[in-house]
Structure 1
Amino acid sequence: MSAAELIRRGKPLPCRPVPRHLLAPEDFARLPAALVMQPSLALLSLWAEPAMLHAAFLDEADGTLLLASTPAESGQYPALSPARPGAVRFERMIRDLWGLEAVGGLDLRAWLDHGSWPLTLPLSPRPARNGARPEQPVFLPVEGEGWHQIPVGPVHAGIIEPGHFRFTVQGELVVRLEQRLGYTHKGTLGLMLGKSPRTAARFAARISGDSTVAHSLAFAEAAEAASATTPPPRALWLRAAMLELERIANHLNDWGAICNDASFAWLHAQCGLLREGLLRAHMDAFGHRLMMDRVIPGGLATEPQPSGIAAILAALAAVEAALPGLVSIYEEHASLQDRMVGTGVLAPALAAGFAAGGVVGRASGRGFDARVAFPNGPYAGGPPTMALRQEGDVDARVRVRLAELTESIRLVRRILATLPPGEIHAPLPQRGGEGLALVEGFRGEIATWMALDDGGLIRAVFPRDPSWLQWPLLEAAMEGNIVADFPLCNKSFNCSYSGVDL
């Protein structure tokens, strides 16, 4: 029996757009072995509630979503990490937040909890007051001669999020990179519980500030699915335009920053200038440079200003006019290409094994884009052309971004030219339900699951940022590279610290 068949044998529980299958513990225990035999079933997310484990899968053979759950009343569940290595950090997070242990897990060290929280197991039925002193972090051992370790962070030289990187090197060659995150833990999940989706939307908008539109949209779509609410068409069209504008702004920023880390500051400055023009247009149109708190459950919080729409189109025209010249400069500077090509290679097999999405996955041959796989709104009438490469190096990740810049500009123009008239918001009814949403942010797909109680308040929620499945791959991509290339590799991935510190 395949893993997909095993999941479908579980009791179907109502969830939109696909049911959630409740598996008996003995059936869930068979799932890891079944997953080994069905490599096309990709693990999208893994999370918990008190005494209950949930998993989301994508069957890449036929493009269908599957949700599986199992009781964990004993505080334990069979680990999925031996079959899906992308489950490792989810399992560590589940142990820190809910106190559920993955039996047979590949790595049982703490992840988010550094020992400094006032309470341990904060999302479990009985959180305990923490009276122990924080322990020193434990890193994986390395055996052999001629190696040494370089600790970097969590405080960095730039104004960026905190994260600790432990390099094991031989000379300049990186033998192993290991990350330690959790420094930006905000208790987001706990803050959302018991609130209405409209109230909790502010927390979703701040999961990762550069993806505020994408996370807000995934959260809103999950709430709408749970409550069986359909936003007005005008709201759907405007949301899609905002999502693409966020992608353009971030791809410009990433491209410039990657070049800057290769000591090519001029291109960084040019990209920054173009991005600034776009952010100012966002302010004119939506009243916020990042468009934060504008996407809400049921639609939008505000109607864009006509003058702002004109400013956005003008900013896009400036980007489009500048791109050919900037790309030519990027390609013609041999010293820049020498730093990009062949650096930080992520093998396609690893990208597929971790179900990496977004630029990271598509630059290494994994052809998944939620806008194409599950189109809705304006995407249903014309999904984007997917940019796909096989090289898996820093240059390939740049090339995917450049292709997506052009495609997103085309999409925004088409969407704004075909905006339907009407309302921009529909109220959510106060009813119970469950919903799952996949939204293609600039880093990749965000998978948000939400369960509402009978009063329409959030009983449980889990927003999965793409970075969960991409951070481990950065460790792999750095192996065999020199220490000086870490900034290049790190920025070409551009994983979110905050997005995985729920």
Structure 2
Amino acid sequence: MRIEAFGFPNQVRLSAFAGKSSAFLARLDADTWTRTAGTVREAGGRLISLWGSEEPAGTFAMSVAYALEDGILWLQLPVDDGHGDGGRYPDLSTVFPCATRMQRAVYDLLGLSAMDARDTRPWLNHGNWPVDYHPLQKLSSGTERFQSAEADYPFVHVAGDGVHEIAVGPIHAGVIEPGHFRFSVVGEKVLRLEERLGYAHRGIERLFAQTPLLVGHRLAGRIAGDTTVAFAWAYCMAVERACDARIPPRAQWLRGLLLERERIANHLGDLGALGNDAGFGFGLAQFSRLKEDWLRLNNRAFKHRYLMDQIVPGGVATDIDPRFVTAMLTQCDQIDVQVRVMQRIYDDQSGLQDRFAGAGILSAKAAAHFGVCGLAARASGRKADIRVDHPYAPYHEVQVQVVSDDRGDVAARVAVRFNEIYESIRLIRLFLDDLPGGGVHTPVEHEGSPSCGVGWIEGWRGDVFVALEVGTDGTISRCHCHDPSWQNWPAVEHAIIGNIVPDFPLINKSFNLSYAGHDL
């Protein structure tokens, strides 16, 4: 279904992607909000993100972004009052289950609540915030009264003969972000898993309101360190569309190069960790070596191992020296050969395959139900990749080949990682061989009138989304950033059902979702 088919009277086209897609913004009433959600679902559309904001004069609005055939539909619903018992809007979780946690986060941040929602438990507020405090309200009614201890979270209880609970986290062994996992099991068979996240909440969205427009890419790039390129690019794309800026072709191609190098670095690390979680330490050693070589060349070419602060509004911060073009092409040849050798070893190692095959199955139907995106969706047979479905420069000039697998298990998610490495190597070679000439940066200026922009980038986990509202004076009125982990975390809860507890680390790692990107 195309966005124009909705025919909203106040629909505004925000910007055009380089290819066939666009972004549209419309304001509507509560009835249309609910009706549109059902229409989008029936048409095969997808909910990208849901968030709230405080507008001038103390009014509020809810926003939702949908992915449709021809791009993004951003809808806003005015909500009169976010204080006290006000600020209610129609629940979307019955249409899009992935909206459940987003709506719970909106209440914690703004005090806006979804009417008749089944799950209204706090999500980001663990009980340690001031009473009646909502950090995104400009004049929050919070007092200085704090709870003396973290609130007891009402996990769903599973009853039955032989059922018991195993609590894991939020503090874990090793260097890992915090998250709590509550298992209900019989013996070692998992009947239910429930996650509690939000421990990595840092007030990112409030910090954006205090950040200059042309500096915000630095904050966006620090939302999740392993996705710094995707978040920074999505933010810069939103700024450039809000300011109607034009980016030099060379800068666009360099952005593509950076994004594919970020994708490969993460896949190399994950493949080693997956081997290690299945008791194959040789895999960890070899992939750690390959990833380290990859990051060291990043540092030599772009002055940062993880490529932070390289994508800036108007282009990129650093052009690439010709000698590093040769070095990267040589490295691509070497990595391609060595990863293929490792894939043969993984495929032939019976112990690995015994652990991978059939573990953590996520069917295509379940993936569609939860709105799963990115690598996890493609490993369940859903060929979704916005570099192909909604191409942006430079991907509209290259033919990205979508990698997918129908099995939906750990083995499928491992196979997709291997094959995405080969595809990203192919794209890097294209970007370097055909790199346009010219400059790498164009100054970006805001004209003074209020404006909006969106950024939408296929990161290594899935699509990263940024919605930006810019005020009259060129300051950030609201910046909402969305990580694909919001859609994918509930799928992990589903994928573990029927498996044994010792397989959870392996299944969880096969998704490798973000805490920091999710919690903000």
User: 1:275 and 1:226, CA in 2 relative to 1: closer, same or farther beyond 3 A?
Assistant: same
2:369 to 336, 348, 353: 353
Q: State how far apart, in whole Å, the 1-side matches of 2:97 and 2:128 are.
A: 28
2:391 to 363, 366, 375: 375
Higher deviation after alignment, 110-119 or 143-152:
110-119
Contact 2:178/2:515 (<8 A) preserved: yes
Q: Deviations over 1:370-426 (max 9, x none)?
A: 111122323112131001111100000111111110010010011011111111111
Contact 1:278/1:316 (<8 A) preserved: no
Matched pairs, number = 498
Q: How much has 1:143 moved relative to structure 2?
A: 2.2
User: 1:10 and 1:163, CA in 2 relative to 1: closer, same or farther beyond 3 A?
Assistant: farther
Q: State how far apart, in whole Å, the 1-side matches of 2:39 and 2:248 are.
A: 42
1:252 to 258, 268, 286: 268
1:107 to 110, 116, 119: 119
Look up the match of 1:46.
50
AA aligned to 1:126 is: L
Alignment partner of 1:230 is 2:246: yes
Q: State how far apart, in whole Å, the 2-side matches of 1:144 and 1:63 are.
A: 49
2:401 to 377, 385, 404: 385
Q: State how far apart, in whole Å, the 2-side matches of 1:181 and 1:8 are.
A: 39
Look up the match of 1:23.
28
Look up the match of 2:100.
88
Q: How much has 1:9 moved relative to structure 2?
A: 2.6
User: 1:227 and 1:262, CA in 2 relative to 1: closer, same or farther beyond 3 A?
Assistant: same
Alignment partner of 1:421 is 2:437: yes
1:352-501 superposed matches below 5 A: 352-431=368-447, 432-501=450-519
User: 1:149 and 1:321, CA in 2 relative to 1: closer, same or farther beyond 3 A?
Assistant: same
Q: State how far apart, in whole Å, the 2-side matches of 1:178 and 1:222 are.
A: 34
2:331 to 293, 315, 328: 315
Look up the match of 2:295.
279
Q: State how far apart, in whole Å, the 2-side matches of 1:490 and 1:268 are.
A: 17
Contact 1:434/1:450 (<8 A) preserved: yes
User: 1:466 and 1:130, CA in 2 relative to 1: closer, same or farther beyond 3 A?
Assistant: farther
Q: State how far apart, in whole Å, the 2-side matches of 1:262 and 1:389 are.
A: 21
Q: Residue 381 of structure 2: SS of its match in structure 1? A: coil
Q: Residue 199 of structure 2: SS of its match in structure 1? A: coil
AA aligned to 2:80 is: E
Contact 1:279/1:289 (<8 A) preserved: yes
Alignment partner of 1:339 is 2:355: yes
Look up the match of 2:84.
none
Look up the match of 2:143.
129
Q: State how far apart, in whole Å, the 2-side matches of 1:122 and 1:408 are.
A: 40
AA aligned to 1:410 is: R
Contact 1:452/1:458 (<8 A) preserved: yes
1:66 to 67, 70, 73: 73
Q: How much has 1:136 moved relative to structure 2?
A: 1.3
AA aligned to 2:166 is: I
Q: Deviations over 1:8-48 (max 9, x none)?
A: 43522452242211111232243455456x15121111111
Contact 2:3/2:70 (<8 A) preserved: no
User: 1:165 and 1:299, CA in 2 relative to 1: closer, same or farther beyond 3 A?
Assistant: same
Contact 2:198/2:519 (<8 A) preserved: yes
Q: State how far apart, in whole Å, the 1-side matches of 2:466 and 2:93 are.
A: 21
Gapped runs of 5+ residues in structure 2? 17-22, 55-59, 82-86
AA aligned to 1:96 is: D
Q: Deviations over 1:199-232 (max 9, x none)?
A: 2211100111000001111111111111111111
Look up the match of 2:182.
166
Q: Deviations over 1:268-316 (max 9, x none)?
A: 1111111110100000100000000111111111223333333323322
Q: State how far apart, in whole Å, the 2-side matches of 1:393 and 1:107 are.
A: 29
Contact 1:207/1:499 (<8 A) preserved: yes
Q: State how far apart, in whole Å, the 2-side matches of 1:4 and 1:293 are.
A: 34
Q: State how far apart, in whole Å, the 2-side matches of 1:215 and 1:495 are.
A: 15
1:171-190 superposed matches below 5 A: 171-190=187-206
Q: Residue 11 of structure 2: SS of its match in structure 1? A: strand
Contact 2:34/2:92 (<8 A) preserved: no
AA aligned to 1:103 is: M
User: 1:14 and 1:376, CA in 2 relative to 1: closer, same or farther beyond 3 A?
Assistant: closer
Q: Deviations over 1:445-482 (max 9, x none)?
A: 11111111122221111111010100000000011100
Q: State how far apart, in whole Å, the 1-side matches of 2:442 and 2:2 are.
A: 39
Q: Residue 446 of structure 2: SS of its match in structure 1? A: coil
User: 1:3 and 1:25, CA in 2 relative to 1: closer, same or farther beyond 3 A?
Assistant: farther
Q: State how far apart, in whole Å, the 2-side matches of 1:278 and 1:307 are.
A: 16
Q: State how far apart, in whole Å, the 2-side matches of 1:374 and 1:31 are.
A: 21
Q: State how far apart, in whole Å, the 2-side matches of 1:235 and 1:90 are.
A: 34
Q: Residue 58 of structure 1: SS of its match in structure 2? A: strand
Contact 1:375/1:383 (<8 A) preserved: no
Contact 1:172/1:483 (<8 A) preserved: yes
Q: State how far apart, in whole Å, the 2-side matches of 1:73 and 1:269 are.
A: 57
User: 1:149 and 1:7, CA in 2 relative to 1: closer, same or farther beyond 3 A?
Assistant: farther
2:309 to 293, 296, 314: 293
Q: State how far apart, in whole Å, the 2-side matches of 1:482 and 1:491 are.
A: 15
Contact 1:340/1:395 (<8 A) preserved: yes
Q: Residue 28 of structure 1: SS of its match in structure 2? A: helix
Alignment partner of 1:11 is 2:10: yes
Q: Residue 19 of structure 1: SS of its match in structure 2? A: strand
Q: Residue 470 of structure 1: SS of its match in structure 2? A: helix
Q: State how far apart, in whole Å, the 1-side matches of 2:286 and 2:425 are.
A: 18
Higher deviation after alignment, 239-248 or 107-116:
107-116
Amino-acid identity (%): 41
AA aligned to 1:47 is: W
AA aligned to 1:20 is: L
Q: How much has 1:318 moved relative to structure 2?
A: 1.9
Contact 2:67/2:73 (<8 A) preserved: yes
Q: State how far apart, in whole Å, the 2-side matches of 1:400 and 1:322 are.
A: 17
